[in-house]
Chain A
């Protein structure tokens, strides 16, 4: 390679590496702000904001969804498989909301430690399969458990 080209190649490589390192440090320092939601463990540990709105993410515990009263109010429990938080929400739930599904709720904690949600979003997982396959997976895992 000719010296002039070699020099340009080195300069450009240095530039790209430098920017990558700078961005890496910047992202690391803003790490908390880039998290779209807090986990239920964060909330129980008191890491979430006290008086302002924030987002809470977790999985809806199977059998925890209940509708006290006749209105649109829904109460359910969220978990990250370690700590649980109770959520109350009044409104229309998205299509993918169901027990065992991940969701993200936007709202704040009340004095009793219950999360009052203003908005509930369903978090889709990365699995795609036909209904028959899902059904056979279910029976398979059930029969394995039964043994």
Chain B
């Protein structure tokens, strides 16, 4: 590869090697969990205790500390899943396929949390649990895409074939991601426009914004933890007949 420094290429080659990945992620795990716990405690303390009440919604607005990061994650994880799927398709890297399929259940959970918390907030604020406006409908389609990916992967026995099929489905669904993000600008929707993710200055007071960003980072680190654990298990399943797994089990299994 041209233009890419040699050390970066070597890093990716080593990351793509299953035994090396397995050992490295094991060493990383305690650090990641520590970061996640600290971020979550700081975010929740800031959001539920330090941040002031909203001028219109009172304390009900505090659901954004779960709803908004979960919705961001639902889009972010989908992009990771699709890009990892494409890398798996093009370069035939086993680890990319595993990252792609392992992201699906985590992304589906975040999508569900975003829909569910939004519904809880919608009843007192809008006056309804659910409306078929463009934002809510496209987010629901995202949930179905995730479930489709999980179902398709489970339905095909040969996991090599399954990974390819799933990657194509995920790539087809990518078109939904900008639709979700811009739905509130392109069409009249009941859902409000973006507060933070826009070119302008965020239209949220800084005392409320900081806990929100902390919660977003906390959700990111949770995703990383869940992803690494899932990929490690999937890797062991797929590589169960290889020499490095046998050696490892013999060494630790006494």
Contact = CB atoms under 8 A, between A and B. Distances in A.
- Sort chain A's interface into a size bin: 35 or more
B239 interface: no
A128 B54 contact: yes
B55 A126 contact: no
B144 interface: no
Interface in A29-80: 31, 34-37, 39, 57
Interface stretch (B15-23, B34-42, B72-80, B128-136): B128-136
A contact face: mostly helix, strand, loop, or mixed: mixed
Contacts of B203: 126-128
A79 to B, nearest CB: 15
B contact face: mostly helix, strand, loop, or mixed: loop
A114 interface: no
A12 B124 CA distance: 45
- Sort chain B's interface into a size bin: 35 or more
Contacts of A12: 86, 89-90, 171
Nearest to A135: B55
A40 B155 CA distance: 50
B120 interface: no
B125 to A, nearest CB: 5
Interface of A: 1, 5, 8-9, 12, 15-16, 19-20, 23, 27, 31, 34-37, 39, 57, 93-97, 104, 119-135
Interface of B: 1, 52-57, 60-61, 64, 86, 89-91, 124-128, 131-134, 168, 171-172, 174-175, 179, 186-190, 192-195, 203-205, 207-208
